[in-house]
């Protein structure tokens, strides 16, 4: 990468890839998906300070709390604006919206600790949301985000530090999932749409298999050498994924 200095931190319970992108000359920066555990946002803030970055934007690839939980702390520290697709903006305030009617919460899931098949529960209070396994283990605990400062749509541009990222609306995991494409250096941040050798869950509120297939097909049309930085797991390339992903 010539224009951007990038740092990836793995944060939160799952864990989630949080990317800090800094324009090399201006030091203007953008943070993708700071899905930190409660109290962990300091790790991201420390990295921002170490890079000497001036964070203009926090961009959430979608509205799930494992991608948005650090929004508040980082916004308070940097004054950055929070950007998310219009369809997922309501999830910043109410990430549980529709969740309890989704397959993920109706069907039993294997508890990561005791291994039993149990129904996952949601617990919401004024500033936090938790998902709890049937046997009572906290699977995820997240702080709620402030509302969006700007909502995004397909083919919008996000400009910082001389860099222009294109917003690609890639729904399927959620209604407002986006990928961020930097054509000049063949990079794409794919959130929970395209993952290495896989793709994001489609059993959640707002998920759609049909939309996921269309989004994967769309990403499959990007140049083969494009490096994919997903929301979880390791980086990959469009060419590699086309070999293993039946929808691409």
Residues that bind Zn ion (CB under 5 A): 64, 66, 192, 231
With b meaning 16 or more CB within 10 Å and e meaning fewer, what string describes 4-38? bbebebebbbbebbbbbbbbeeeebbbbbbbbbbe
> Where is 114: in which H helix or E strand?
none
- Residue 28 or 40: the one with the smaller Cβ distance to Zn ion is 40
C-beta separation of 173 from 190 below 8 A:
no
Which of 33/241 has CB closer to Zn ion?
33
Q: From the CB of 64, what's the least distance to Zn ion, in Å?
A: 4
Q: Least Å distance between CB 174 and Zn ion?
A: 7
Judged by beta carbon, residue 22 or residue 71, the one nearer Zn ion is 71
When CB distances to Zn ion are compared, the closest residue is 64
Q: Which is nearer to Zn ion, 28 or 143 (CB)?
A: 143
Q: Looking at 40-143, list the stretches that DSSP marks H as alpha helix, in order from N- to C-terminal side.
A: 41-50, 65-68, 71-78, 89-93, 103-106
Q: What ranges make up the beta strands (E) of 12-147?
A: 16-23, 28-32, 54-59, 81-85, 109-110, 117-118, 121-124, 128-132, 138-143
Place of tokens 């707002």: 206
* Nearer Cβ to Zn ion (11/111): 11
Task: Kindly state the smallest distance separating residue 200's Cβ from Zn ion, in Å.
Answer: 6
Shortest Å, Cβ 96 to Zn ion: 13
Least distance CB 49 / Zn ion (angstroms)? 26
């Amino acid at each position: 990468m010539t224009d951007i200095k990038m740092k990836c931190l793995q944060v939160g319970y799952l864990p989630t890839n949080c990317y800090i992108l800094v324009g090399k000359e201006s030091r203007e920066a953008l943070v993708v998906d700071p899905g930190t555990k409660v109290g962990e946002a300091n790790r991201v803030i420390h990295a921002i300070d170490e890079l000497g970055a001036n964070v203009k934007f926090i961009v959430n690839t979608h509205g799930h709390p494992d991608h948005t939980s650090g929004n508040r702390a980082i916004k308070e520290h940097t004054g950055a604006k929070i950007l998310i697709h219009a369809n997922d903006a309501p999830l910043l305030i109410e990430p549980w919206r529709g969740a309890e009617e989704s397959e993920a919460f109706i069907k039993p899931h294997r508890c990561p600790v005791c291994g039993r098949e149990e129904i996952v529960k949601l617990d919401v209070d004024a500033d936090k949301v938790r998902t709890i396994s049937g046997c009572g283990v906290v699977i995820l605990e997240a702080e709620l985000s402030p509302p969006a400062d700007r909502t995004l749509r397909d083919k919008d541009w996000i400009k910082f530090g001389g860099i222009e990222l294109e917003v690609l609306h890639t729904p399927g995991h959620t209604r407002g999932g986006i990928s961020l494409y930097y054509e000049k250096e063949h990079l794409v941040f794919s959130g929970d749409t395209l993952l290495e050798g896989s793709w994001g869950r489609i059993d959640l509120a707002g998920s759609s298999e049909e939309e996921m297939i269309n989004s994967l097909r769309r990403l499959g049309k990007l140049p083969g050498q494009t490096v994919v930085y997903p929301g979880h797991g390791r980086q990959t390339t469009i060419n590699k994924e086309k070999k293993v992903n039946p929808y691409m």
